Each structure stands twice: as structure tokens, then as C-alpha cells.
Amino acid sequence: MSTGNNKLTQPSTTEQDHPFSILVPDVILDAVESTGLWCDSRIYPLNSYENRVYQVGVEDGSPIIAKFYRPERWSTAQIREEHDTLLKLESAGIPVVAPMVFNGKSLLKHQGLYFCLSKRLVGQHPEADNLDQLFQLGELIGQVHEGLSSRPFQHRISVSPLEQIRAAATLILENKHLPASLKDRYKQQIERLYERCEARIKAYWPAQLRPIHGDSHRSNLMLHDGQFHLLDFDDCQNGVAVQDIWLHLTQTENPRQQLSEIIEGYESYLPFDTRELDLIDVFKSVRVIHYAAWLQSRWHDPAFVRAFPWFGSEDYWLNHLNELANCEKEWGHISR
């Protein structure tokens, strides 16, 4: 759920005829077959909104996954850096799913859309409260971070929480979905969270960001043949290690036990700087604030209108404001 170029913008009217509209079955099959594979005409759309992702049947072989990138979200240099990273991790034996390479290329293009193909991985997502699995997830995140090394990405974005909050709030306030009667309350809530985030960042922020996955929630992890794999590096970025950890803390009463298991697994590969724990509240707040702005910024895409019909209702915004209030209420719950 990244903003790509780290900016949330409202689409222009020329984007109303969305470029993904060309992805009819024949176009999808033609794109896959342009690599030399022969499809059996079975196409199954997978759950993806930022991009379009399909499982496609292949003659005399296992189905493959075809991912079509949202235009103008990432530059070709950013996508290639993602692919190079995955291929490097895969060659090092780290359990990720890398793009397939055809004639030396992993990033392909068909009818103006960039796409890539990868092997299908079958398995289960981790159980939220399984401590043994949390230890394994910590190991995998540590292994990935070690494999990525500490040298920052050259083309991917760098996390900037305060900038993200300002950009998200500006987009929401400048558009019609937030009811006018709630705007003052929204502004006040955002300002309070912004001030808290700013104080935390001033108290501690790493001298150098490191390459991370950037969106390592449960749906991007798969238990396959007894081993967890980290999927979908679409949001990989220069960030903070704890960004890949905090999303697995599901217990609101006592997250410390979960956190302990993840960090213990992580430190099988790399030391973890516990000062980063104070940034969890920052990243949690940013994620809640950004989600509404993400829906607003994608409202020109018909898939979003169908999938999120409740967006813009007064009930949605009241619930969103309650989420923001809970971020403030729970501030310091994990780090103290």
C-alpha cells in the first residue's frame, strides 16, 4: 500500500479510462505467450488492487503468476531494482519468490503495460498468535535484511513518516469524500498525531535507513513445504527494520510476548536496535492515516469503486476518526 513516488495525488480527468481496462483475457494470454510459454486459457484473477495479478494456466506445466504493474507508480529503474534484489536473494537461498527471466530480462512489456511472471507458490499464511511461527517469521525477516545488506537502495523510495502524514491529510482535505461537518475534527486529530510522531522521530531516528520489504503483513507470507516465504516486494524501500516487524503484533493487551519471539528469531541473523520500538506508534499512525488517502488517490480505478463501495460514507469517516483516536489512546502501549 505504498504511494510509489511517495506522493499521493488526485488523478486527472484524462485517467478516467483506466489503462488496466485493456486487460481482457486475450491480452493477458498474449502477454504471457510473448515469453514463449504456451497458455491453456485458464485465467484466475488474484486479490490485488495496486497492480493486476492473475494465475495463468500453462500447457504441460504448473500455472504461473502474471503481475501487471500500475502505470506511473514506479519507474522502470525502481522495478528493476526490486527484481534484481529478489533474484539476488533467491540465488542466496533465501525463501522469496523472484520473477522469471526470459532472454536475460525479468521486466517485460506488452501493449504499453509492464509485467513480470513468477512461479506459483501454494501454502498457508501464518497464524496470527502462533508463537513458534512468530519466531520463524522473525528469522525470515532477519535473513532477508541480512541478504539485502545495509547498503540503501539507489532507486526505491525512502520512508518519510511526517511527509506521508502531511501528504495524506492534504489529499483528504482537498477532496469531497470527507464530510464538511467532520473536517475540523479530522484536522485536530491529525495535528495531535503529527506532533506525537514528530516528537518520537526527534527523540530517535536511525542515522542511515536500510533496505526492507516495506509491507510484510501476513498475506505476504506463505508457509510452503515447511518453510515460510516472503512474497511481493512491490513496496520495498529504504526504511527501518521495525517496519517489517510491527505488523505481526496482533495482541492489544500484551504484545510483548509476540514481540519477544519475533526479535529473538530476527537476532539469529542480525542484531535488533530496541530504540526502534519507540517508532512503532509512528508507523502505526502513518498506516491508518495513509489508508484513507490511498483509497482517495485510487478512486479513478473502477476496481476500487467496486471493492470499497462504503468509502466516503459518514460511517466510514466516523470509524476512521475512531481509529485515529485509538492510535492516540494506545500511544506508548508497546514501547513502555
- The catalytically annotated residue of 232, 234, 244, 301 is 232
Q: Is 129 known to be catalytic?
A: no
The DSSP symbol for 41 reads E
C-alpha cell, 176: 469531497
User: In angstroms, how far apart are the furthest CA atoms of the chain?
Assistant: 60
Q: Is 26 known to be catalytic?
A: no
Classify burial at 293, counting beta carbons within 10 Å of its beta carbon; exposed 0-12, middle 13-18, buried 19 or more. Answer: buried
Residues paired with residue 158 on neighbouring β-strands, in sequence order = 238
Tell me how far apart the alpha carbons of residues 155 and 134 are, in angstroms, rounded to a whole number: 31
Identify the sign of the CA torsion 11, 12, 16, 17.
negative
Provide the phi-psi class of 41: left if phi over 0, else alpha when psi is between -120 and 50, else beta: left
Instruction: Decide if 31 contacts 65 (C-beta within 8 A).
Output: no
Which of these, 205, 212, 226, lies nearest to 141 by C-alpha position? 212
Per-residue burial over 236-253, b = 16 or more CB atoms within 10 Å of its CB, e = otherwise: bbbbbbbbbbbbbbeeee
Tell me how far apart the alpha carbons of residues 43 and 260 are, in angstroms, rounded to a whole number: 42
In this structure, the number of other CB atoms found within 10 A of the CB of residue 204 comes to 12
Tell me how far apart the alpha carbons of residues 303 and 1 are, in angstroms, rounded to a whole number: 15
Tell me how far apart the alpha carbons of residues 107 and 104 are, in angstroms, rounded to a whole number: 9
- The catalytically annotated residue of 30, 84, 184, 215 is 215
Active-site residues, by number, are: 215, 232
